[in-house]
Amino acid sequence: MHRHVRSRFTRRAIFGAGLGLGLGAPHTTFGQATPGASPVAGDDYAHPEMLVDIPWLEANGDDPPVILVGFMPADDFAQGFIPNSVQIDWPDLEVTDTTNDSLAAWQVEVERKLTNLGISRESTVVAYDEGSLFAARMWWVLHYLGHTDVRVLDGGLPAWQAAGHELEVDAPEPPNPADVPYRGDAQPDVIAQVAEVEVGLDDDGVVIVDARTADEYAEGHIPGAVNVNYPLNALPEPPKFWKPAGELKRLYGDAGVTTEKHVIPYCSTGVRSAVTCFSLRLIGHENVSLFTGSWAEWTSYPELPITTGDMP
């Protein structure tokens, strides 16, 4: 099958060669004033600091470095949120064009939005959702920007309610912008651009994970991709806590996703697959690059191959 291969001078290659993107000098990663992390009870995660539970939030949620982010639609947020939260949703942070210029422009816009939310490089950011698991997308965006202290509230808003806490329903005060404009330090290894995904089709060291439903996968997917629907990362009943490490390792191991592989998750627009990315990092996969452009970008290039059916 003929495959059109675009330039391999991707963002990652440029960064690796030390050429930069004309964005100025690299930004400094400042030390974080971090509340003590409390691993989720009963876990065996490689990176338990990525998740916080309700007792951690009760103990640390009012500390000055902590910024709570309700990662959900504004209408849902208005119906009830954890006190002292700010709100943003995934469409505000979406990027489905992974060309260099697009990523550079997207980063500038995301940095502006983070600044307006009051988030600085020193912030401990705790993202939560209403049970969608999509707070992992907020985690990935900050992970890409080199933010060293970003966590997800395990179980999200339903866990807060199940613990007997009230929700705030009054209109929140607009957040105070951060004193210093947010400037990220992009980490090219945690993102996959479309040309890199195409090159990975012929690389036995790469495994592509489709986080969409089985029906979406059967209608068309990237050749060779394995299908692990993103809700499988969590327990099925609310609050949807992340599954224990052993269950997640079996889930992905059975699909051929092992720590020796370079893993590239994708979905429709990079939101559901951010959950995959979060889970893999949580259990110790260090070489995971989110194809944030996902199916929306892949199918925008008619020359790129597509496979149908329920097999890779």
Please tell me the distance from the alpha carbon of residue 300 to that of residue 231, in angstroms, as a whole number: 26
The contacts of residue 300 (CB under 8 Å, 6+ apart) are none
Residue 237, in any domain of the structure:
yes
- Sheet with strand 262-266: strands edge to edge: 226-227, 206-210, 262-266
Establish if 208 belongs to a structural domain: yes
- Whether the CB-CB separation of 246 and 283 falls below 8 Å is answered with no
Residue 24 domain-assigned? no
Residues 90 and 156 in one domain: yes
Whether 191 has a pLDDT exceeding 50, the answer reads yes
In the structure, what pLDDT confidence band is assigned to residue 172 with cuts at 50, 70 and 90?
Answer: confident
**Mean pLDDT, the chain, whole residue set:** 88
Give me the residue label for tokens 């992970």: 143
Region 144-168: mean pLDDT is 97
Overall number of domains in the chain? 2
In a domain, 3, yes or no: no
Q: Are residues 252 and 211 part of one domain?
A: yes
Residue 93 domain-assigned (yes or no): yes
Cα gap 202→217, rounded to integer Å: 20
Any domain includes 105 = yes
Cα 279–281–284 angle (5° rounding)? 110
- % the chain with pLDDT above 90: 83
Q: pTM of the entire structure?
A: 0.87
Tell me which residue range forms the domain holding 80.
38-162
Per DSSP, what are the bridge partners of residue 126? 68, 151
Structure tokens at 56: 């951690």
The most distant pair of C-alpha atoms in the chain lies apart, rounded to whole Å, by 59
Residue 71 counted as domain residue:
yes
**Do both 201 and 126 map to the same domain?**
no
Q: Kindly report which listed range (12-21, 164-173, 210-219, 285-294) carries the lowest average pLDDT score.
A: 12-21
**Domain membership flag for residue 19:** no
Q: Quick count: other Cβ atoms within 10 Å of Cβ 58? A: 12
Judge residue 19's burial from the number of C-beta atoms within 10 Å of its C-beta, 0-12 exposed, 13-18 middle, 19 or more buried.
exposed
